[in-house]
Structure 1
Amino acid sequence: MNNHTVITISRQYGSGGRELANKIAEKLGYKLFDRQIVHLAAAQIGIDDLSEDNLRNLENNVTPLSLSFIPFFNFGSRNTGFNNDIFINEAKAIRKLASDNDCVILGRCADFILEDLPNHYSFFICANDDYREKRGKEVYDGKSLKELNEEDNKRANYYKYYTKQNWGDPKNYDMIINTSKVSLDKAADIIISYVKSNKK
């Protein structure tokens, strides 16, 4: 049985979810896995089935994407995201990464993929439009609220396509946190306290 603690973070663009995930990982001393690492891990599957040595190499040597990273390209498009083979390999990679580490995993439907794990805790991070618009200007190189919402729509479609559930639906998560109402440091402490008090 997997006894590792895994925290999955889903978030609206501009809510500070990536920065929050980084804070949680640092406070707990956990690994942080984001889209970049999951993609690289998934690429190994089918070549050598992601050997333990390769997995640990990714864990130790690949740096997560920067806090300001935002794709603004074809997220979940028919040509890239809606590819069943890619998703299946990413799901395998996520489960392998989670089986080997106490970790925080950002996005990639990880909350759904890992929902059966006993010490998996999922959180959705949101914020009001004013907060997201301000972060779009200051953190995401001047991106508008409209651009942030367009990316969120792509993410919601991707999530719906693969999970048959609604992205952001409170029923899918342990907790929803609105970062326009609480600081990111406080949000990190809330999540950590919840995880520690509910750990099996």
Structure 2
Amino acid sequence: MSDKFVISISRQYGCGGRELAGILAEKLGVKLYDRQIVHIAAAKLGINDLSEEELLEMENRVQPLSMHFMPFHSFGTHMGDSSSGMFLSESAAIKKLVADGSCVILGRCADYVLRDNPDHFAIFACADDDFREQRGKTAYEGKSLKELDAEDKKRARYYNYYTGRNWGEGQNYDLVVNTSKKPLGQIADGIIAYIKAIKKA
């Protein structure tokens, strides 16, 4: 595929979204970014004494929403906790990486960060519960569907807090794909065909 593009992949835990992102990047011959963004952001903040797991866990420190909730984006940059600092630094890292060329970005609220980028295509990957439950057993260290759903609640809370939008809501994405319907390679081909058709229009 010619011309510049960036694909962001958001996904339900256990649907194979990480694998799908990797297949897309390989088919398109571009880089895949995910946890590299976390490390770039941490370096910008001068955080060098935390493990990767500890850095990722920072995203789970967002408290559950309350009746008096006001989303982070309403405050601008005036919230000083470590989690908000990481979000802002990750956002800056994403924009810098995208400026360097076409790529696939997994997670990191990239669909929101790049919402005004005309070369950006936001994809949300989901799957049926039976499919996710089976993958939980085989590909996610024996995690139950309940455990997968708990991880999704953390993702949704983080995303909603920093973006003011609802995680997984179709209107926030260019395309929603169900990974339990076809092999991931075929789904990747479908996504590429969709993007090519849109770029030609």
Q: Distance in 2 between matches of 1:114 and 1:142?
A: 34
Q: CA deviation at 1:40?
A: 1.3
- Contact (CA 8 Å) 2:9, 2:122: kept in 1 or not? yes
- 1:154 corresponds in structure 2 to 154
Shift of 1:10: 0.3
TM-superposed CA distance for 1:19, in Å, is 0.3
Residue 45 of structure 2 contacts residue 85 of structure 2 at CA under 8 Å; is this kept in 1?
A: no
Q: Deviations over 1:125-175 (max 9, x none)?
A: 000110000000000111111110000000000000000000000000001
Structure 2 counterparts to residues 36-185 of structure 1, below 5 A: 36-45=35-44, 75-78=59-62, 83-185=83-185
The equivalent residue for 2:49 is none
Contact kept, 8 Å, 2:62 with 2:161, in 1: the verdict is no
Distance of 2:59 and 2:135 partners within structure 1: 20
Return the alpha-carbon distance in structure 1 between the equivalents of residues 82 and 157 of structure 2: 10
SS in 2 for 1:105: strand
Secondary structure of the 1:83 match is helix
Structure 2: stretches of 5+ with no match in the other structure: 47-51, 64-80
Residues 37, 72 of structure 1: alpha-carbon distance in 2 compared, 3 angstrom cutoff = closer
1:57 corresponds to which residue?
A: none
Amino acid corresponding to residue 140 of structure 1 in structure 2: Y
Give me the whole-angstrom Cα distance separating, in 2, the residues matched to 1:75 and 1:87: 8
Shift of 1:75: 4.3
Please give the alpha-carbon distance, in whole angstroms, between the structure 1 residues aligned to 2:45 and 2:56: 29
Q: 1:43: how far off?
A: 2.4
Runs of 4+ in 1 over 3 A off after TM superposition: 71-75
Note the alpha carbon deviations across 1:59-104, whole angstroms, 9 max, x for none.
xxxxxx9xxx9x995642239x972111100100010011102100
Q: Supply the distance in 2 between the matched residues of 1:177 and 1:122 (Cα, whole angstroms).
A: 11
Take 1:72 and 1:86, find their aligned partners in 2: how far apart are those partners?
10
What is the CA–CA distance in structure 2 between the aligned matches of 1:190 and 1:98, rounded to whole Å?
23
Question: What is the one-letter code of the residue matched to 2:104?
Answer: V
Aligned length: 175
**What TM-score comes out, normalization by structure 1 length?**
0.81
Whether contact under 8 Å (1:72, 1:151) holds in the other structure is no
Distance 2:103 2:57 in 1: 27
The alpha-carbon deviation at position 185 of structure 1 amounts to 0.9
CA contact (8 A) 1:75 1:151 kept: no
Q: Secondary structure at the match of 2:61?
A: coil
Partner of residue 71, structure 2:
none
| Residues 76 and 82 in structure 1, CA contact (< 8 A), matched pair in contact too | no
**Distance change >3 Å, CA 132–CA 82, structure 1 → 2:** farther
Structure 2 match to 1:21:
21
In the alignment, is residue 8 of structure 1 matched against residue 8 of structure 2? yes
When normalised by structure 2's length, the TM-score is 0.81
